[in-house]
Amino acid sequence: MAPSRRDLAVRASVDQGLLSAAEPVVALLDTAGIRASAAALTRAFAAVTDAPVLHAFAVKAAPLVPVLRLLHEAGIGAEVASPGELALARAAGIPPERTVLDSPAKTPDELRRALALGVAVNADSLQELDRLDALVASGPTASPLGLRVNPQVGAGSIGALSTATATSKFGVALRDEGARKTVVQAFLDRPWLTRLHTHTGSQGVPLALMAEGVGEAYALAEEINRAAGRRQVDTLDIGGGLPVNFASDEETPTYAEYARLLADTVPGLFDGRYRLVTEFGRSLLAKHGTVLARVEYTKTSGGRPIAVTHAGVQLATRTVYAPASWPLRILAYDSEGRPHTGEGAVQDVAGPACFAGDLLATGRELPLLRPGDVVAVPDTGAYYFAHHYAYNSLLRPGIHGFTTAGDGTVAFTAVRGPQTLDEVVAEAGGDLADALVRPPAEREAEEEADREDRTQGGPPVR
């Protein structure tokens, strides 16, 4: 059987020195895989509707400018939830009309900035609508404006990622007493309010529950339009949340399955009366990212082998702290980057952080690992190596996109360089070392003396 693109990339990362004793952890992104996922998403919805659809990538899943540019060129926009994410989307060249701002805590300045740019905004609360009233009255804007509602349809298997529960912090809770009537009136009072947004959750949420949440938003849009006597709500933002299979390389469920389910359960959604927005994130990127780490040491404790690697909580934070909800596969390669063929053994795969729970896998059957071998952690393209957790001031790894040619040749492109020690020190206030031990007046006097001396051309006085 021909080696997979991932196998070719692992071998090439060793051959080309991306992974080495000096750089013992690196992250890889399969650009062909990302493009394929973007195309699959676009095809899935085009197969069930002729209505305009903006697929906006949830930037939080992979806040990396080159990734956003790649998705933009594949026809995908951006869903942002902070000033930082908006800045990343703009740096990637994603235009305002293909950008959606969601967040439960937008400041007046954030809203003012979005409206000036023409970015679509989904208010998260009735209080935010009140804030928008004043901003809209102050001047014209090209921004489409909507309201996020919580259909309160229930939770999936991971409570922290279920956003349509009875007490979710997101959106206006539709089933609370009087809430639905209040939402309808809020639209009638604001002719500029033309969108409804909902999002039921992501990993751990079954497709049927996602579709139920979308159905509730659709029914509300119909109710608002009947009350208004016109098509006031013209766009439904149905969020994202397609779960990812972390158990194998199979990509399931698929966008096509979800689109067909929506067509069956909410047929009016696709009859052309509504523009649509989606906000998928993890499902576009997860399967196309892999962390590689060298095994630094091995040992045995309590009769169980342990492989100590350079990938742990700083990259796989959710897996380390909630392994039952976020299990990851571990693939073993030898020191030259070839699939490991050694005899299997039950072992732990540990990270470098200084606490006992920093484990990527516990009691996992793998070829017995040795120092210098390589472990690959697939399915990590979203929310893993792009969200560094600076435990022990461990360095952020370099991230590289890769492509493979027909002859098996692999070419790498830097997406984000590895963090340096100087950068760690700078981010930790390295230029302010005396800030807490010397009086401000003393430091200011010294700085002023330095400035005067430089003006006169002499050495600094101490």
Each residue's pLDDT expressed in tens, for the chain with a length of 462 residues:
678 999 999 999 999 999 999 999 999 999 999 999 999 999 999 999 999 999 999 999 999 999 999 999 999 999 999 999 999 999 999 999 999 999 999 999 999 999 999 999 999 999 999 999 999 999 999 999 999 998 867 667 767 766 777 777 778 989 889 999 999 999 999 999 999 999 887 877 889 989 999 999 999 999 999 999 999 999 999 999 899 999 999 999 999 999 999 999 999 999 999 999 999 999 999 999 999 999 999 999 999 999 999 999 999 999 999 999 999 999 999 999 999 998 999 999 999 999 999 999 999 999 999 999 999 999 999 999 999 999 999 999 999 999 999 999 999 999 999 999 999 999 999 999 999 988 778 878 877 887 887 777 655 544
DSSP 309: E
Q: Are 166 and 217 in contact (CB under 8 A)?
A: no
- Give the model's pLDDT for residue 154: 66
Whether 450 and 462 have beta carbons less than 8 Å apart is answered as no
Q: What are phi and psi for residue 103, nearest 5 degrees? A: 180, 145
Put residue 3 in one of left, alpha, beta given phi > 0 → left and psi -120 to 50 → alpha: beta
Q: Quick one: tokens of 436?
A: 């807490």
DSSP codes joined into one string, 328-376:
---EEE-TTSPBP-SPEEEEEEE-SSSSTT-EEEEEEEEEPP-TT-EEE
The pLDDT of residue 409: 97
Contact 383, 318 (CB under 8 A): yes
How many other C-beta atoms lie within 10 A of the C-beta of residue 38?
A: 22
Smallest Cα–Cα separation from 288: which of 448, 174, 402, 198? 402
Question: Tokens 């942002």 — which residue?
Answer: 80
Query: What's the token pair of residue 204?
Result: 């751990």
Instruction: Tell me the pLDDT tens digit for each residue of 294-344.
Output: 999 999 999 999 999 999 999 999 999 999 999 999 999 999 999 999 899
- How many other β-carbons are positioned within 10 Å of the β-carbon of residue 149? 26
Tell me how far apart the terminal alpha carbons of the chain are, to the nearest angstrom: 71
**DSSP assignment letter at 59:** G
- Vertex 56 angle, CA 202 and 253, to 5°: 40
Identify whether the C-beta of residue 68 lies closer than 8 Å to the C-beta of residue 98.
no
- Binning the chain into helix, strand and coil, the percentages to the nearest 5 are 35, 25, 40
> How many whole angstroms separate alpha carbon 224 and alpha carbon 228?
6
Rounded Cα–Cα distance for residues 274 and 195 (Å): 10
Q: What does the pLDDT look like over 188-225, one tens digit per residue?
A: 999 999 999 998 878 778 899 899 999 999 999 999 99
Q: What is the pLDDT of residue 462?
A: 47
Q: How far apart are CA 337 and CA 290, in angstroms?
A: 14
Residue-by-residue DSSP string for 262-286: HHHH-GGGGSSSSEEEE---HHHHG
Encoded tokens for 316: 């796989």
Three-state DSSP class for residue 35: helix
Eight-state DSSP code of residue 162: B
Provide the sign of the torsion angle of the four alpha carbons 303, 341, 375, 40, taken in this order.
negative
Q: What is the pLDDT of residue 3?
A: 83
**List of residues 6+ apart from 99 with CB closer than 8 A:** 56, 77, 78, 79, 80, 86, 89, 117, 119, 120
Cβ 56 vs Cβ 46: under 8 Å = no
Task: For the beta carbon of residue 73, count every other beta carbon within 10 angstroms.
Answer: 12
Strands (DSSP E) found in 131-253: 145-150, 172-173, 193-197, 235-237
pLDDT given for residue 168 in this prediction: 78
List the structure tokens of 181. 């009537």
Nearest alpha-carbon partner for 89 in 73, 77, 75: 77
Is-contact 244 282, C-beta < 8 A? yes
Q: Do residues 244 and 207 touch, judged by C-beta distance below 8 A?
A: no
Place of tokens 């906000």: 279
Phi, psi of 309 (to 5 degrees): -120, -175
Whole-prediction pTM: 0.93
